[in-house]
Amino acid sequence: MVDMSPFILDDLALERLFTGARSNIRFADQPVTMDTITQVWDLIKWGPTANNTVPLRIAGATSPHARARVLAHAAEGNRAKVEAAPLVLIAARDERFHDHFGVTGGTDTAAARFEGDPEARTRFAHTNAMLQTGYLIVGLRAAGLAVRPLGGFNRAGLDADLFADSPWRSEVLLLVGYPTDDHGAGDRKGRIDAADAIKEI
Ligand SMILES: Cc1cc2nc3c(=O)[nH]c(=O)nc-3n(C[C@H](O)[C@H](O)[C@H](O)COP(=O)(O)O)c2cc1C
């Protein structure tokens, strides 16, 4: 007997969020506004993070200067992809996430502990910003957008150019645009079967 579908979203939603969504390198010739990104943030900010630290920050490389610096620091094999993207976002971690504990509900004791331990702060911010980046990718897809994440770029170089006076540190680039029929991402690679990914222990 096959179990009934456990999903509360309809098939179209599941397809748009997961099964049919690709990591596009080609996009429709249609701009993506930062207003849309703001609305996506207001959705995905509700995803859980450790201690509710919410360390993800999003820099939209909308100026010619920022766009040029992203391109300059992209790995050779990623440059044409960056150039073709309607919008480039830098998903970053805020290494001073504890400055926002007044909003996020962290205690003074935890803030003092993080203040005194920058290495722990970096680790914590990295882990949770990457977790939120996953929510962000799904949230962008929920807004009808296609996303290609890029890890191949010089983070230190990009940070020195764009975040010199800021506690933000780059994690991943996200190329964002509206999808076309031709996503340009080639044949889809396999995924791990549940039999190999899940076990009861
Ligand atoms: C953290 C991360 C880093 C990635 N870095 C790169 C990259 O540097 N260059 C690239 O072309 N694709 C990069 N990708 C894209 C992946 O190869 C792609 O998402 C994966 O193969 C799944 O493709 P699909 O969504 O079309 O099935 C990256 C994806 C993630 C999530």
Is the CB of 185 within 6 Å of ligand 1? yes
Is the CB of 78 within 6 Å of ligand 1? yes
E-strand stretches of 50-163: 56-60, 87-94, 146-150
Cα 134 off chain centre by:
6
Q: How far is CA 49 from CA 23, 37, 129, 159, 190, in A?
A: 25, 20, 8, 24, 29
Q: Average pLDDT for residues 4-16, to the nearest whole number?
A: 96
Is the CB of 85 within 6 Å of ligand 1? no
Tell which residue, 171, 145, 133, 120, has the closest CA to residue 45: 133
Q: Which domains does the chain have, with CATH numbers?
A: 31-181 (3.40.109.10)
Q: Could you tell me what percent of the chain has a pLDDT over 90?
A: 98
pLDDT band at 45 (very low <50, low <70, confident <90, very high): very high
Q: Whose CA is nearest to atom 19 of ligand 1?
A: 23
pLDDT band at 1 (very low <50, low <70, confident <90, very high): low
- Residue range 101-153, pLDDT digits in tens: 999 999 999 999 999 999 999 999 999 999 999 999 999 999 999 999 999 99
Q: Cα(25) to centroid of ligand 1, in Å? A: 10
Please give the mean pLDDT across all residues of the chain.
Answer: 97
Is the CB of 31 within 6 Å of ligand 1? no
Q: Average pLDDT for residues 64-70, to the nearest whole number?
A: 98
Q: Cα(22) to centroid of ligand 1, in Å? A: 10
